[in-house]
Amino acid sequence: MRDTDLDVWFGDYVAVMGASGSGKSTLLNILGLLDRPSSGNVLVEGRETAALGDAAISAIRAKTVGFVFQAFHLLTNRTALENVELPLIYAGTHPRTRRTLALKALADVGLTLRAGHLPNELSGGERQRVAIARAMIRTPRVLLCDEPTGNLDSLSSDLVMRLLADLNEAGTAVVLVTHDAAVGSRAGRHVHIADGVAEEVA
C-alpha cells in the first residue's frame, strides 16, 4: 500500500476492488490491525495505534473488529455451535452465557437446526454463515470480509450478501474485498486499488 488515505465510518458499507496482487488483502489487514504499516497512521475510533503494544492491539481487535474470510477458517473437529463460541472462550465468558449467545448468533444467520453439525456436514454457504456468526458474536463495530463469497455458488453467495446487508442496516460497518463486480455493486461506497494505491470511486 502507498499514498492511501481512507476513512471508514460506522454504518458504512465499502467494497474494495482491484486486480489480484493490487493490495486489497493488505489494506484489509492494515484496517484490521493484523499488519502494521511501515509508515503512516491507523486510527481506530480516533486512537492512534502505531505505538500500541500487541496486547492493546489485540484488545482493540476483540472489541471493534470482526473478520470473515473466503476459506471460512472453521475448526473441523468442532461443531458449528462450538466454532461460534470460540471468541467467547478466549474472552473468558461463562460456559452457560457463551452457549446462549452462540445459539442466538446461529439463529440470527438461520442455522439453529445445524448447530450440532461439523463443518464437513455443512454446505459452503452454511459454513460461511457460521463464520459470520462467529465474527459477530462480540458485536464488533466493523466487519472486514475478504472475498466472503469466493468459494460459494450463486444462491449461497446471495444469501451471504443479504446477511451482510442486514448487518449493515443494523449499524455494523462492512468493508468487503471482492473481485466480483456484482458483489461489489451492493455496497454504498466503492474503493479501487491499483499498484497499492486505493482511491474512492464516485
Evaluate whether residue 6 is within a structural domain: no
Per-residue pLDDT band for 62 (boundaries 50, 70, 90) equals: confident
What's the domain range around 145? Answer: 13-201
Q: Are 35 and 26 in contact (CB under 8 A)?
A: yes
**Interval 42-67 mean pLDDT:** 92
| Side-chain half-sphere exposure of 68, counting CA atoms within 13 A | 32
- What per-residue confidence (pLDDT) applies to 175? 97
pLDDT > 90? residue 105:
yes
pTM: 0.91
Evaluate whether residue 125 is within a structural domain: yes
Per-residue pLDDT band for 91 (boundaries 50, 70, 90) equals: confident
**Interval 86-113 mean pLDDT:** 95
**Interval 92-110 mean pLDDT:** 95
Helix (H, G, I), strand (E, B) or coil at 123: coil
Q: How many domains does the chain have?
A: 1
The C-alpha atoms of residue 1 and residue 35 are separated, in whole angstroms, by 11
Across the strands, what pairs with 174?
A: 13, 143
CATH of the domain at 153: 3.40.50.300
Give pLDDT tens digits for 118-176.
999 999 999 999 999 999 999 899 999 999 998 899 999 999 999 999 999 999 999 99
Evaluate whether residue 5 is within a structural domain: no
- What per-residue confidence (pLDDT) applies to 137? 94
Evaluate whether residue 170 is within a structural domain: yes
- What per-residue confidence (pLDDT) applies to 33? 94
Evaluate whether residue 159 is within a structural domain: yes
Evaluate whether residue 134 is within a structural domain: yes
Evaluate whether residue 166 is within a structural domain: yes
Tell me the torsion sign for CA atoms 97, 44, 168, 11. Answer: positive
Evaluate whether residue 7 is within a structural domain: no
The C-alpha atoms of residue 90 and residue 82 are separated, in whole angstroms, by 12
